[in-house]
Structure 1
Amino acid sequence: MFDKILIANRGEIACRVMKTAQRMGIKTVAIYSDADKHALHAEMADEKIHIGPPPAKQSYIVIDKVMQAIRDSGAQAVHPGYGFLSENPKFAQALEDAGVAFIGPPKGAIEAMGDKITSKKLAKEAGVNTVPGYMGLIEDAEEAVKISAEIGYPVMIKASAGGGGKGMRIAWNDEEAREGFQSSKNEAASSFGDDRIFIEKFVTQPRHIEIQVLCDAHGNGIYLNERECSIQRRNQKVVEEAPSPFLDPETRKAMGEQAVALAKAVGYTSAGTVEFIVDGDKNFFFLEMNTRLQVEHPVTELITGVDLVEQMIRVANGEALSITQDDIGINGWAIENRLYAEDPYRNFLPSIGRLTRYRPPEEGPMGGGVVRNDTGVFEGGEISMYYDPMIAKLCTWAPSRGEAIETMRTALDAFEVEGIGHNLPFLSAVMDHPRFVSGEITTAFIAEEYPEGFHGVELETDALRRVAAACVAMNRVAEIRRSRISGCLDNHERKVGEDWVVALQGHDFPVTVKADREGSTVRFEDGTELRVQGDWTPGDSLARLTVGDAPLVLKVDKITQGFRIRTRGADMKVHVRSPRQAELAALMPEKLPPDTSKMLLCPMPGLVVTLAVAEGDEVQEGQALCTVEAMKMENILRAERSGKVSKINAGPGDSLAVDDVIMEFE
């Protein structure tokens, strides 16, 4: 077995690989950029080697620098994680030339599966179901129209070297095929330097379901069931689960056997994933093969009990698989939510800054389930503009899908993140969405259910009552403390009243609170009562309570006459007032936000790359005004209406904070 391995990556995946390596008694080496000097993965490793400036193209993906780090450390093997150099055949070749083991597949398999046209041809030859389409070279738009008509609309026009949604168009008729071909070709040329285009049938009611495979160099290959990855936003996975709520055993077996056949056909070794698109009738078609460890691998580990990283290391060491297909079962259900540093209320724009608070739920048993959190950050650490915005992968396991969802809901409510924008509220909303709960999902779920973006959650009346009861009980605890402190000062103990009015999300609940040593009983106007119990004390940022007979977890911040409460995707101000205070509050005028309609505000922290207009220019609705870069993404800011630029406050190279004024209009 290897004595020392280098992890050619950063963040949560580097930490994840280190955990297994260290458990196996293998020393680990981290590489780090200037921005990651104090990162968790750098601190966690047995050794760490500096590799260059913050931009990945000057550090993490510079093969020569990584190879030098390998030589300096004496590492015998390299695990690439995912992203960066994980699917770079030149890196695999460099390792082979240096006599260093690559904890991944052979260079030939990476090359064969890295090209979408080649991979589809190989899949078809291996007996894998492929989407009807045309894989040959398409000369021009008219030929694209002819081919599209022969395949049958709708069709998907895709770049061969594409990824991340670039160079991809759906066409429903001849005109859209003509326009889509040219647009895809242009995007492919500019993004990948390869303008080859292919056309295939567009699958309706599509689900994204992938099969995990594991192969060794001795001819053995197995599949470890499937993962459902249909909850996606802009072709980026957000929620994954294993198994799929859609597949039956027969379809699972057929998909698994085809995935293994493809892996063997290309001489694959190590862990890999064969992705399929599945229609509403359970017809499945090959999409692509990812020749690396997937982000969502933890859910497979949770339902199979197989440590995929350990298996990858053993295969790279030349060992034969110690497990067979008969050893792979399905134990319970697992769900993964990707926690991103992005603001769901601002169309999921990246968010950077310092994590002033980072308190994930404790890993291990939770209720009848289990919590796992793969992360690469820590409280006080910084989310950098240079790298992927993922903060953590929160996973839950339970005996059934319903229990796994419920465990996830509680875990999300208990996850405290402050200092940056994050998508925890959105993830909570998805976990409660009826379509997700039913399992009736497709890859269009987010686009269909949140067409105007995410604007928070309005809780149902019963849920509001539970929050109201919790807040009035917490308020009583706070009032008792205040009365005792003031009583000590003026030598007179003040009595805390029993009648209150709780206002939240546009609802007013007059209540009466009766307390005893065990908790509080909150009675509503209609006579219903809720019992509230818990050990919350003023100043606690998390309240774990029992309301009625069910647990309730609230994130709590104090505000005047109440609390800011976050739970189940809702973020609300809850005011707890005496009847007289509530009467007077109703007479107060509403404070209106300042008018920013004639300003272009920076939607996230970032760097101004270009300005597309000048002072005095007339602009039209939808016109590009400037480009701001954050987290490896360029964001084009456009005019919301026609107008004239009166003042420009920022220029190329300027670093901006959220809501900084970039320009003003007459």
Structure 2
Amino acid sequence: MPLFSKLLIANRGEIACRIRRTAKRLGIATVAVYSDADRNALHVREADESLRIGPAPSGQSYLSIPAILDAVAHSGADAVHPGYGFLSERAEFAEALEDAGIAFVGPPPAAIRAMGDKIASKRLAASAGVSTVPGHIDIVEDEGQAARIAAAIGFPVMIKASAGGGGKGMRIAWTEAEAREGFRASRNEARGAFGDERLFIEKFIEEPRHIEIQVLGDRHGHLVHLGERECSIQRRNQKVIEEAPSPFLDAETRAAMGAEAVALAKAVGYHSAGTVEFIVDRDRRFYFLEMNTRLQVEHPVTELVTGLDLVEAMIRVAAGEPLALRQDDVRLSGWAIESRLYAEDPYRNFLPSIGRLTRYRPPAEGARPDGTLIRNDSGVAEGGEVSVHYDPMLAKLCAFGPDRPQAIAAMAEALDGFEVEGIGHNLPFLAAVMGSERFRAGRLSTAFIAEEFPDGFAGVAPGAEERLRLAAVAVFARHAIETRAAAISGTIDNHRRLIGRAFVVQGGGASLPVALEPAPRGFQLDFGPAGRLAIAGDWLPGRRQGVFEIAGETLTVKIDRAGSGFRLRWRGIDLNLHVREPHVAALTRHLRPKVKPDTSRLLLCPMPGILTALAVSEGDAVEEGQAVATVEAMKMENVLRTERQGVVKRVAVKAGDSLAADDLILELA
């Protein structure tokens, strides 16, 4: 007999797909729910049955308790797994299910309520002997009070939503003006994401690490912790890369943090999977941040180093089974890293991107001969639509290795092989982080991205060695195209085109003459003073990706035709190269560079979204850097500022308008 006969998954995207996989293995039928925007989504197609729950806005679908309860009744499900986000931390939802006699695959409502309110949870944590961050642990009523409290605590401070999580409703303020602006933005985000606009303020710990402890408990009073996850690589308070274990903790600190996490869970009568999050300073002093009473996005890295299935454990606990392990049974083995694939453009300050996935080809999953393993928890498929209505995360790519360097190498290789086209995405940025010396050394903090990319992400600049390797790939591709053309021409009156042996590779501010000689599966390339390389590969014209052996190393390079040249992408490098005959290359000195148009007088919408606020009118004077508009996209508010001083000549839109990327908002005289 299965643990439950039918499980309704009250969520969408990759987590709904991930829960379904475990339920299927356990012999439990699954029910998907969907909004109008998700009618053809992957989680709907994979489930045994599916039910519509409302329009695209989450408040009318995935956040609607009546709609979900109605779906439960219609489907005959005897259990509900909420995933993360949406209703996963709404105590009234868990209570409504209990009242209906439906098992909630999660913690008791009392624990959700106690820990879901961050103000109440900090008070409870302090009473349980857990270290907490200094701050004003009470409701902040308005932006004036926020500025006064922040000044009294001492800048910098963190303004945070009392309800919810996932980086929504959070802002760091370094001045009173930022405290006022941050209060407004955090309140709006919190209201839209959680239906609860209450905020509080606490001291922002500088050079902090964000490290969390996974806990697991049953209904019989048994609780264990499963070690830690390092979640310090964040952007806008949203985690981007996580790993287990942390490269920073020692055994003593791990044990102390685990003990406090378990003590807090016991204090609230916790069962199921949950996470206690801590801020850790440079001296390994740790402070309670919050408790997430649900499955975390980054749970796969814990699964990879413990060998456990946390979704299965949650289902068994919900069915009343005792935990099958005690603390002494928990063993951490190897190293795991998770990279979150987001629909966002890293070259445009990580702004959200929407559209159709014209190509979506993840790397092959499973164990590899070198002891590494690749896992990809995905919620999309090729041809699917990425909507403006929901979180921009598409998938979670995980790599496991016997140690941290091997896990990083496996992740870098997997990112190289991940093909996504049709929307902006952060694959090149993730690859850049994997190649960062600071990341490889484990010198992490929540300021990592801001410090390593202070001017934003512009791609990885290739060094001399990387440039030479990519030049070799371009020559290989050019020769493959010439060979195909020669073969085609050879079928006509027996005349074959001659293929040259000398070229010039141009692009990226460099020009490299090269001579080539055929070799097995490739060529010997002579770049003169720049060096010699042997290249072999499997690429054929028409393929979007090739695997090459260069100087004894394997490179997986994305290859696209770009006019008469090639666009090559590898390890965060995005390079356009032309491979020309020498006499053609000599003529390029006569080409004039394109002049970039001056758009400083125009405020253009940087991403698709809804214009929620417009702070100026025609005729108003504005200063450089002044906040003039707010655009909401994928549940995040984005404040837009002017690039120069001037007077508003024309306003092209109004609050409430839906805007596409690069739509004109206003023009300055």
Same fold judged by TM-score > 0.5? yes
1:605 Cα deviation (Å)? 2.2
Residue 299 (structure 1) aligned to one of 298, 301, 317: 301
Structure 1, 596-605 or 242-251: larger mean CA deviation:
596-605
Quick one: which amino acid aligns to residue 129 of structure 1? S
Structure 1, 320-329 or 8-17: larger mean CA deviation:
320-329
| Percent sequence identity over aligned pairs | 58
Quick one: which amino acid aligns to residue 130 of structure 2? V
Quick one: which amino acid aligns to residue 366 of structure 2? G
Is the aligned partner of 1:627 residue 2:626?
no
Query: What is aligned with 1:531?
Result: 534
For 2:97, what is the secondary structure of its paired residue?
helix
Quick one: which amino acid aligns to residue 117 of structure 2? D
Query: What is aligned with 1:591?
Result: 594
1:258 Cα deviation (Å)? 1.4
Is the aligned partner of 1:247 residue 2:210?
no
TM-score of the two chains, using structure 1 as the length reference: 0.93
Query: What is aligned with 2:503?
Result: 500
Is the aligned partner of 1:390 residue 2:393?
yes
Residue 42 (structure 1) aligned to one of 28, 44, 57: 44
Query: What is aligned with 2:555?
Result: 552
Cα distance in 2 between the residues matched to 1:660 and 1:254: 53
Cα distance change on mapping 1:31 and 1:485 into 2, 3 Å:
same
Cα distance in 2 between the residues matched to 1:225 and 1:603: 41
Cα distance in 1 between the residues matched to 2:105 and 2:124: 24
1:333 Cα deviation (Å)? 0.7
Cα distance change on mapping 1:139 and 1:68 into 2, 3 Å:
closer
How does 1:41-440 map onto structure 2 within 5 Å? 41-133=43-135, 135=137, 160-161=162-163, 163=165, 164=167, 166=169, 168-169=171-172, 191=190, 197=200, 199-200=202-203, 202-366=204-368, 368=370, 369-440=372-443
Structure 1, 651-660 or 516-525: larger mean CA deviation:
651-660
Structure 1, 580-589 or 415-424: larger mean CA deviation:
580-589
Contact 1:531 1:548 in 2 (8 A): yes
1:258-317 deviation line (CA, Å, top 9, x unaligned) = 111111111000000000111111111111100000000001111111000000000000
Query: What is aligned with 1:491?
Result: 494
1:438 Cα deviation (Å)? 0.5
1:491-516 deviation line (CA, Å, top 9, x unaligned) = 32122111111123212221111113
Contact 2:140 2:198 in 1 (8 A): no
Cα distance in 1 between the residues matched to 2:587 and 2:266: 75
Cα distance change on mapping 1:215 and 1:203 into 2, 3 Å:
same
For 2:52, what is the secondary structure of its paired residue?
strand
Quick one: which amino acid aligns to residue 450 of structure 1? F
Contact 1:561 1:577 in 2 (8 A): no
1:166 Cα deviation (Å)? 3.5
1:125 Cα deviation (Å)? 2.5
Structure 1, 256-265 or 511-520: larger mean CA deviation:
511-520
Cα distance in 1 between the residues matched to 2:498 and 2:295: 62
1:585 Cα deviation (Å)? 1.3
Is the aligned partner of 1:657 residue 2:666?
no
Is the aligned partner of 1:641 residue 2:644?
yes
For 2:478, what is the secondary structure of its paired residue?
helix
1:182 Cα deviation (Å)? 6.4
For 2:27, what is the secondary structure of its paired residue?
coil
1:118 Cα deviation (Å)? 1.9
1:532-583 deviation line (CA, Å, top 9, x unaligned) = 1111101100111111100101111112332111111111211111111111
Is the aligned partner of 1:458 residue 2:448?
no
Cα distance in 2 between the residues matched to 1:214 and 1:521: 57
Cα distance in 2 between the residues matched to 1:514 and 1:310: 57
The count of corresponding residues between Structure 1 and Structure 2 is: 659
1:132 Cα deviation (Å)? 4.4
Cα distance change on mapping 1:654 and 1:496 into 2, 3 Å:
same
Cα distance change on mapping 1:608 and 1:180 into 2, 3 Å:
closer
Quick one: which amino acid aligns to residue 294 of structure 2? R
Cα distance in 2 between the residues matched to 1:634 and 1:185: 12
Cα distance in 2 between the residues matched to 1:104 and 1:433: 38
Quick one: which amino acid aligns to residue 384 of structure 1? S
Cα distance in 2 between the residues matched to 1:530 and 1:138: 64
Query: What is aligned with 2:6?
Result: 4
Structure 1, 234-243 or 494-503: larger mean CA deviation:
494-503
For 2:491, what is the secondary structure of its paired residue?
helix
Cα distance in 2 between the residues matched to 1:16 and 1:387: 18
1:299-344 deviation line (CA, Å, top 9, x unaligned) = 1111111000000000000000112222221211111011101111
1:370 Cα deviation (Å)? 1.1
Contact 1:188 1:195 in 2 (8 A): no
Contact 1:565 1:572 in 2 (8 A): yes
Quick one: which amino acid aligns to residue 657 of structure 1? A
Query: What is aligned with 2:609?
Result: 606
Is the aligned partner of 1:574 residue 2:577?
yes
Contact 2:362 2:376 in 1 (8 A): yes
Cα distance in 1 between the residues matched to 2:373 and 2:150: 51
For 1:2, what is the secondary structure of its paired residue?
coil
Contact 1:159 1:184 in 2 (8 A): no
Cα distance change on mapping 1:594 and 1:273 into 2, 3 Å:
same
Contact 2:355 2:423 in 1 (8 A): yes
For 1:526, what is the secondary structure of its paired residue?
helix
1:168 Cα deviation (Å)? 4.9
Give ranges in structure 1 of 5+ residues lacking alignment. Answer: none
Cα distance in 1 between the residues matched to 2:140 and 2:86: 31
Cα distance in 1 between the residues matched to 2:664 and 2:111: 50
Quick one: which amino acid aligns to residue 38 of structure 1? N
Contact 1:159 1:168 in 2 (8 A): no
Residue 23 (structure 1) aligned to one of 15, 25, 29: 25
Structure 1, 372-381 or 645-654: larger mean CA deviation:
645-654
Cα distance in 1 between the residues matched to 2:320 and 2:404: 37
Quick one: which amino acid aligns to residue 91 of structure 1? F
Cα distance in 2 between the residues matched to 1:147 and 1:582: 61
Contact 1:34 1:52 in 2 (8 A): yes
1:480 Cα deviation (Å)? 1.2
